[in-house]
Every structure is written in structure tokens, then in C-alpha cells.
Amino acid sequence: MTVSAPPVGPSDQLEPQATRPSGAARLLRLVPAAVAALSGVLLYVSFPPRTLWWLALPAFALFGWVLRGRGWKAAAGLGYLFGLGFLLPLLVWTGVEVGPGPWLALVAVEAVLVALVGVGVAAVSRLPAWPLWAAALWTAGEAVRARVPFGGFPWGKIAFGQADGVFLPLAAVGGTPVLGFAVVLCGFALYEVVRLVLDRRRAREVRRSAAAIALLGVAVPVLGALAARPLVSDRAEDGTATVAVIQGNVPRLGLEFNAQRRAVLDYHARETERLAARVAAGEVPRPDFVLWPENSSDIDPFAYADAADVIDKAAEAIGAPVSVGGVVERDGKLYNEQILWDPAKGPTQTYDKRQVQPFGEYLPLRSLLGAINKNWTTMVRQDFSRGSKPGVFDIGGTRVGLATCYEAAFDWAVRDTVTHGAQMISVPSNNATFDRSEMTYQQLAMSRVRAVEHSRTVTVPVTSGVSAIILPDGRITQRTGMFVADSLVQKVPLRSSETPATRLGILPETALVLIAAGGVGWAVGAGLRGRRAG
């Protein structure tokens, strides 16, 4: 029997429109995008000044959920949204004085690198033990962001949000790469545990090996951190030193904080003399040395005799060497320099900042930016030159390592002060150009992580706050407020032993990058084999 086709009517012609997704269905398609952005915001909230470090775990669990099994285009978009959700609020301080343009441009570039990580995570999410490969990929992404473009921008490393967390001792094991890897692994594995539990409830088959690996992904980072606690100690190995940290404050906020000639220098000299009066009155012990912040001398003391005279008098009043942060011109080049000023001998040792800040201390693509907007080139009239030697001052037998401000974000810049003999570390900084933003708290957290990473006392003298003294176990024992003149004096432990992180240097990061590359290679190979089979 032959059956003829029914006639085509208007209702049949409209059938394709009837199968289009409804408004509710279209909204559901936006859920992954919204979750990606909001999980990035959740990661931001885990960072200082808040102490909600544990929020990094659900942030990465949600990120793993939206990426698992995605194609590369969707993964790139979701990764970019995650990067925006995280970095836009985290780095808002970069636009406090210069407007939103540089802030948005920085975030847009950094989020591209996060998007590439998202593509990699989606690719390895089909592999066994995928949280391991995915966490290694995030670490590899941080390694890239710490190096490119323009020398890198490591701000936002996961490790820097963990100064108050249970994972912190892992910094002493393998530095910021291992600490960050553990947090991200735990987050991704947490999602995998939840996913497998739900599959089991839906009567789907769950392999025991997959369940065991997921549970290990959550448990091993926590157990590893607990096992690493003996590496964290504030015991003095080489005696102690009494150190003074000076915060002189600035006459005004913003980019013109040093527009009033010699005002910043006078403020720091005045606070040092106040401390000298307190020492003479027996209120505080006499320090063995005094640490001033970056840019605490707003004019070159080698070029201007009046500036040198102010520093001389301050050093004589306190009766101890003073480490002064100055902007120094030498042989036609500009340097961000730390100068050790002896009360009897004057300047004796110097350290020139090696990792200078792009768009802050030097201007990449100067001619191109000048053609776009001449005002941008006037913000950095002359580029700072880089120093070439690690900064370690020998102050009366105490070896003090120096990592100036921005350098504290770079693993190598802090580590090589310790490998060159530093028994404690100082991070002289200037945050007067960032108003009352979260920048100073983020940088303070970095210094706490560095203290544990290398088992050293870390001092943070800042022009306008927050200045602090941090013990080798990461505890802040004293701190100042913001935009006040103040001083801190404390006897601190000196240490010479090296943690595994100090000894291993770049090796843990390299190993994790190789693991990430192995995971991507496996995923690509599996995809090609699947296509051939199809």
C-alpha cells in the first residue's frame, strides 16, 4: 500500500519557528556565562583585605563546572568572563589616579591569558584525574602572566590570597607555584567529588578509581599543608636585631604626592627624630638600624646638599644607620635606589631596583602611546633604569635583603636576596599614588607569604601605610594605619637556614608547567584519535 505525503499547510511551514528555544531556554543558556563571571568575583572576595581565603575553593569548583566538556570557543569565552570577574575588582586601584583607561586595558590583556587557561582546562576535563592537569594549567598560566607582557604582572597569583589560610605552609615547600597549585587542585577536585556523588544518586556508574582520585585531590593539599607546618618557625637562628620602621606620611595623595619640594623627606626625617626622642626617654629600645620606605627622599640626596643634610641629622639623632629610598640620577640615568646612610660615614651601600614597573616607572611603546595621547607620556617623563645586582645590605653584621615594592610580587626578586645571604627581608614601598585602595593590603599579604616561603622576618616600610613587621611564620606583630605618621620598633629573629622553596627555586614551577603541557598533549592526542575513529 502506498501512503502519500500530507499536504503542506501554514502550520507546517511555521514548524521551524516552533522549535526555536523559548525565552526561558535562552536564559538558561546564559547561566554558565553568569556563573563564570560570578565565580571570578568570588575568587576576588577571597583576597585581602578580607580573610575569606577559603572562598577560592568554591570559586574554582564553579569554574570547573562551567568548563567541563566545553568546546574551545565556549571555554575561551567562559575563561575570559572568569578573568574579568576576578581581575576587574582586584586591580581597580591601578586606575585610581590615571583614570579607567589603563585599568581596563590591563584587565583586558590579563583576562586573555586566563581565557587561554580556560581553553586548556576544558580540553583536559575529559581526561582521568583531570583536576590535577587543570590545576597545573592554572599554575602554568600564572607563570606566563608573571613574565609577559613587558616583564609580566604577577598580581593576582592565587598564593597571594592565602596569607590567612590553612594552605600557607606549602609556600615553604615550593613557593607560590606549589601553594597556588594546591588551592586550585582542591577547588577543582571539590567539584569532581560533588559531580560523582550526584552521578551516584542518579544511578549512574561511578568508577572507584575516579572517586578515589577526586577525594585525594581534596585531601592531599590539606594533609600536605598540615605536614609542612614544621617548616614554619619564628625561632631565631642567628640572634636578633632591633629594627625600626618609619612611616613619615605624605603631604598630599595622588600622583603629585612629592610635588612639594623636600616635603616627603622632611616628614620621614621628622618621624625619625620623634622616635629618637622616645628612645632617649626610654620608651622604646634603640634600634640597630632604621628602614625608610621607597621614595622617602623625594629629591636626590647625592645632587642636593640640603637633602643630604636632612638625612645626616636624622641618622645622627637616632644613632643608627638608616636605609633611605631615593630617586637618584647617575650618568644621565634615573634609578629607584635604596641608600644605606650611616650616621658617621654618610651613604655607604646602595641597591637599585631591578624589576621596574611598566607604565609606572618606565613607558613601553612610548612613541605609539604619545601619538595616541600626549598626556600619557608626560606621566612618565623619563624611564627608570634597572639595577643589576641583588640588594643585600650588611648593617653591623646583619644582612638585610631588599625587594622594593613591585618586586615583592616576583618570586626571583625576593628569593635571590636570601640565596645571597639575607637573614631578614625588607620591602620598602610607596602607595601614596593609590589613595586608600586595597593595593596596600594586597601587597602586605604578598610579604606575609614571602616570610613563610623563605622563613625570614619581613619588614614593610611604606610612605603612607600600611607599614608592618612580619615574623617568619607570617604573623603580623605590628602595623600602622593609613596616611598617618608613625614608627614601629621591635626585636626580630634572624635566620640563615633555607626552606625547600628557597633551595628549589624555579624547579617546582617548571615541573608543574611540564605536567600542564603533558595534560594538554594527552588531551589533544585523545581528540585526534577520536576523530580518526569517527
Catalytic positions are 294, 353, 405
Partner residues linked to 429 by β-bridges:
462
The rounded distance, in Å, linking the Cα atoms of 364 and 489 is 40
* DSSP per residue, 186-232: HHHHHHHHHHHHHHHHTT----HHHHHHHHHHHHHHHHHHHHTGGG-
Which of 40, 31, 47 minimizes the C-alpha distance to 111? 40
The rounded distance, in Å, linking the Cα atoms of 374 and 329 is 24
* Antiparallel, parallel or unpaired: β 398-402 and 424-426: parallel
Give 252-295 as a 3 state SS string: CCCCCCCCCCCHHHHHHHHHHHHHHHHHHCCCCCCCCEEECCCC
Which of 335, 324, 334, 362 minimizes the C-alpha distance to 150? 362
Contact 170, 228 (CB under 8 A): yes
The rounded distance, in Å, linking the Cα atoms of 163 and 183 is 12
The rounded distance, in Å, linking the Cα atoms of 35 and 421 is 47
Which of 289, 317, 341, 321 minimizes the C-alpha distance to 492? 289
Residue 289 has which C-alpha cell?
Answer: 638600624
The rounded distance, in Å, linking the Cα atoms of 181 and 519 is 15
* Antiparallel, parallel or unpaired: β 424-426 and 457-460: parallel
